[in-house]
Amino acid sequence: MTQSSCKKFVEVDAPNTQIIRDIVFNSDKTANAAMAAVYTGILQSNPFRSGMSSIQVMGGFSSDELVWHTGGGLQAREFFENAIVSSNTSILNIWGECYNLIYRANAILEGLSQSTGVTETTRNQLTGEALFIRAFINFYLVNLFGDVPLITNTDYKANAQVIRNSRVEVYNQIIADLKSADGKMASGYSSTNNERVTPSRYAARALLARVYLFTGDWVLAEAQATLVIDETALYQLENNLNDIFRKNSKEAIWQLKPVNSTYTNEGQTYILTGPPSSVSLRDELVNSFETGDNRKAMWTASVSAPAGTFYYPFKYKERSSNSTGAEYSMVLRLAEQYLIRAEARAKQGKLLGANSAEFDINIIRNRAGLSNTTVTTPGDMFLAIEMERKFELFTEWGHRWLDLKRNDRANDILSLLKSGWSVNDQFYPIPRTELLINGNLTQNPGY
């Protein structure tokens, strides 16, 4: 089912563990096992495992969330200083392992389409899941690198000579995949004990709401977010902030279950027991919370050392072998949908009153222990939403990095923090190795 993570699909011949479709897809049981291997691959891949080489951490370094320390290595330092070179191995890992996961999703789709041994119900569900995964990976590729190759099959010879598709083309494919996934996946959760570790129809709708927001389709972004928010039988905001990141949280739309451990990589990566060796929170972030914001009190913590006080994200509470296994990695959650809808409504001029941006951000603010917003003008409302996203979603899946870029705020904010900041730093470089292998690929400006 898997390829070696160090071999990218664009540079090798037929994968040496290529799926034998008539065996893997001869029953519901084997087909489900093949899809389960994809989720394991996500959790074991550098970009998505929430460790030091992940999109979460690298996005935090690239933006104004995290501070790099020497134990993080020189590769991570380049993200922190926004001085990435195209030979950076973390860039190569993000690119290569994302396309490895897309290969796996494409292999599932092709295998299911040709199988006669899988029931229709299972075929639809797994097809939807594979389409969702492909869309999810492509979303991060297009936001981190800009124009990227759009791969929709497992033809390794053709894929070795791909070109970069425009961001519009990639987003169109993402939208098509998510719409198709919505029509195929179940509304509820099919995993053991109804754990939320496989995406449902509402995961597709939640990601589609985000995609519409990023592409400026405010009406559809509001509509998709509303579909998720209104599904109150499945999703509700947790009243206790410390319950949000626990497994099977009512707020969870999609989570990932830790592999071979009782704690999440987020907990292991972020929680400090002494002076930081690799990563900590920026003081500026911690100090910018409003007075009385429970997110600061419950989602950040600190350690004292001779060198000073160091803050760290404390959304996840467990990090060691004696952990209880009570937490799963959160990928999509309900609070983001309220913030998506707030922004989409503000862009349509729905600022105040019922069914407005004000209504949605007040729900998030009140849950954090804050009073209602007092802003009334469009400019102030957009800034208020930006701040709520900053404090609600910090260190989760690169949200802050992507928000600064899509809202054209990266230059204004990061140029004040980083002496070497350049407008070209908003997209990561295409890995040098890939350019050498495939002459049809081109480099991003500034690299």
pLDDT tens-digit map of 358-401: 999 999 999 999 999 999 999 999 999 999 999 999 999 999 99
If we measure between CA atoms, which residue out of 413, 364, 373, 372 comes closest to residue 392?
A: 364
How many CB atoms lie under 10 A from the CB of residue 155? 11
Give pLDDT, residue 51.
Answer: 87
d(CA 430, CA 362): 41
Inter-helix orientation angle 28-44/89-114, to 10°? 170
Query: How sure is the predictor about 217, in pLDDT bands with cuts at 50, 70 and 90?
Result: very high
Phi, psi of 192 (to 5 degrees): -55, 135
Residue type for position 123: R
Higher pLDDT, 320 or 123: 123
Mean pLDDT calculated for residue range 343-355: 98
Q: Is the pLDDT of residue 5 over 90?
A: no
Mean pLDDT calculated for residue range 261-286: 96
Give pLDDT, residue 294.
Answer: 98
Please report, for residues 29, 103, 366, 392, the alpha-carbon distance to residue 377 in angstroms, rounded to integers and kept in the order given: 56, 47, 20, 22
Backbone conformation region of residue 397, classed left if phi is above 0, alpha if psi is from -120 to 50, else beta = left
If we measure between CA atoms, which residue out of 254, 214, 196 comes closest to residue 407?
A: 214
Burial 415-424 (b: 16+ CB within 10 A, else e): eeebeebeee
DSSP letter at 161? T
Q: Is the pLDDT of residue 7 over 50?
A: no
DSSP letter at 319? -
Q: Which residues contact 164 (CB under 8 A, 6 or more apart)?
A: 146, 147, 148, 149, 430, 441, 442
pLDDT tens-digit map of 129-187: 999 999 999 999 999 999 999 999 999 888 999 999 999 999 999 999 999 999 999 99
pLDDT tens-digit map of 220-248: 999 999 999 999 999 999 999 999 999 99
Please report, for residues 118, 218, 249, 286, 396, the alpha-carbon distance to residue 300 in angstroms, rounded to integers and kept in the order given: 47, 33, 20, 8, 13
Q: Is the pLDDT of residue 81 over 50?
A: yes
Full-model pTM = 0.94
Q: Is the pLDDT of residue 4 over 50?
A: no
DSSP letter at 242? G
pLDDT tens-digit map of 14-66: 444 444 565 678 899 999 999 999 999 999 999 998 889 999 999 999 999 99
Give pLDDT, residue 25.
Answer: 87
Inter-helix orientation angle 120-145/167-184, to 10°? 160
Give pLDDT, residue 192.
Answer: 63
d(CA 418, CA 305): 25
DSSP 251-274: TEEEEEPPSSSSS-HHHHHH--SS
d(CA 136, CA 251): 19
Average per-residue pLDDT in the chain? Answer: 93
If we measure between CA atoms, which residue out of 443, 401, 396 comes closest to residue 418?
A: 401
Q: Is the pLDDT of residue 190 over 80?
A: no
Q: Is the pLDDT of residue 333 over 50?
A: yes
